[in-house]
Amino acid sequence: MVVDDQAVVRAGFAAMVDAEPDLTVVAEAGDGASAVELAAARAPDLVLMDIRMPGMDGLTATRLITGLETRPRVLVLTTFDLDEYVYEALRAGASGFLLKDAQPEELLTAVRVVAAGDGILAPGVTRRLIDTFARGGSLPPPVPAFLARLTPREREVLLHIASGRTNAEIGVELGVTTGTVKTHVNALLAKLGLRDRVQATILAYESGLIRPGGTPAL
Task: Catalogue the long-range contacts made by 22-25 (C-beta closer than 8 Å, 24 or more residues apart).
Answer: 22/112, 23/108, 23/111, 23/112, 25/1
Question: Taking the model in full, what pTM does it have?
Answer: 0.66
Q: How far apart are CA 21 and CA 188, in angstroms?
A: 34
- Work out the percent of the chain whose per-residue pLDDT is above 90: 39
Q: Say yes or no to pLDDT of 207 above 90.
A: no
90 or 62, greater pLDDT = 62
Among 83-87, 115-119, 156-160, which range has the highest average pLDDT? 156-160
State the average pLDDT over residues 53-77: 90
Residues contacting 63, CB < 8 A, separation 6+: 92, 93
Residue 63 has pLDDT above 70, yes or no: yes
